[in-house]
């Protein structure tokens, strides 16, 4: 097992989600952070200009991965099935482009525009624009494409962005951690912010029970078929039952991915890197086990590094939600859409 995340990150996660020491030393900074955040939200949320079409924000309160991107992809496909022409805006986190916003396609370099942006472009075939300034992305998007709904992957804390529907995604196992704001806890906003959300989605197991009452829905990420990054061959995950594999991740919460492999009967050697990590060739070389499995998000970055090597596989996942979620979202959107003329 190799954990290449920083010691600081490992210590903070032990404080946020375990019994790690040091929380009380960080509390003064958390109070300061919370006060500044509240002020920013009040000032930046004023005088929103109504956009030409509705905006759905898919976000979270906690630092790290909760499943926003798979949910965004699910929502895009749902909107398409309902007859809408949706598009996506995203931060492009980790992208090194010198000018923003960027139009993102399947052919875009994830090192320039971000791994999640390329993943969403390849998974949905809808317009995707990346950039920190969400309003600039929307302006560029609407000038180039005819779309009638915009879905923002992340952006809940981008207070200058008008939004018609807010969806919060919560990790079912970690939930809100110790309940404190950064840096003593994992929250980017006070947990009372959930009261402003239209829908709450809980991703995965929820051992504490459903403690979120307002329009809360369970989501599960399922992946059963691997594909080879070199040959594009597909293989059922259960064909590897009993085998030892190297699992490679550069995502916010890798344990969910590792668990899915273990639940399928694989013997997993874990190799964790920081979220949005820029992989190099030597990161992909292992002495043990001939098969390497990674997430789809990591695969978009690693594909250019592997050449014709056939040992690298990817496990795509699909977000599965109850039909009640789909109905609730489409019903809210239909009501909101009637106030738009664009």
Predicted local confidence at residue 206, as pLDDT: 60
Is pLDDT above 70 for 342? no
pLDDT per residue over 5-63, tens digit each?
888 888 999 999 987 778 889 999 999 999 999 999 999 988 788 899 999 999 999 99
The structure's pTM equals: 0.94
Mean pLDDT estimate for the chain: 92
The secondary structure of 134-164, three-state, reads: HHHHHHHHHHHCCCCEEEEECCCCCCCCCCC
Q: Which two tokens stand for residue 20?
A: 């790690």
What mean pLDDT comes out for the span 289-318?
92
Please give the share of the chain, as a percent, with pLDDT higher than 90.
80
Per DSSP, the three-state class of 206 is coil
Contact of 23 with 184, CB cutoff 8 Å:
yes
């Amino acid at each position: 097992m190799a954990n290449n995340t920083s010691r600081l990150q490992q210590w903070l996660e032990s404080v946020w989600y375990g019994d790690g020491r040091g929380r009380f030393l960080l509390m003064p900074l958390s109070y300061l952070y919370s006060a500044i955040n509240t002020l920013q939200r009040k000032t930046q949320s004023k005088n929103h200009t109504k956009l030409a079409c509705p905006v759905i924000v898919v976000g979270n309160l906690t630092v790290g991965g909760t499943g926003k991107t798979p949910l965004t992809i699910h929502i895009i496909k749902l909107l398409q099935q309902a007859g809408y022409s949706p598009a996506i805006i995203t931060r492009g986190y980790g992208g090194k482009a010198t000018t923003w916003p960027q139009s993102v396609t399947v052919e875009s370099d994830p090192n320039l525009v971000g791994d999640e942006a390329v993943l969403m472009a390849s998974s949905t075939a809808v317009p995707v624009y990346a950039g920190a300034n969400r309003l600039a992305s929307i302006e560029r998007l609407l000038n180039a494409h005819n779309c009638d709904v915009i879905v923002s992957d992340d952006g809940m804390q981008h207070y200058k962005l008008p939004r018609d529907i807010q969806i919060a995604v919560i990790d079912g196992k970690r939930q809100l951690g110790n309940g404190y704001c950064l840096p003593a806890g994992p929250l980017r906003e006070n947990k009372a912010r959930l009261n402003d959300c239209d829908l709450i989605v809980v991703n995965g197991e929820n051992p504490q029970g459903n403690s979120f009452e307002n329009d809360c829905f369970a989501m599960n990420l399922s992946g059963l078929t691997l594909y080879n990054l070199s040959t594009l061959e597909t293989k059922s995950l259960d064909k590897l039952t009993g085998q030892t594999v190297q699992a490679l991740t550069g995502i916010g919460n890798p344990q969910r991915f590792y668990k899915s492999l273990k639940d399928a009967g694989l013997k997993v050697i874990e190799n964790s890197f920081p979220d949005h990590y820029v992989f190099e060739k030597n990161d992909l070389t292992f002495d043990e086990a001939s098969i390497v499995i990674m997430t789809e998000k990591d695969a978009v970055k690693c594909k250019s590094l592997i050449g014709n090597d056939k040992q690298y596989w990817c496990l795509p996942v699909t977000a599965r939600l109850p039909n009640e979620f789909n109905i609730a979202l489409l019903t809210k959107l239909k009501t909101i859409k009637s106030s738009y003329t664009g």
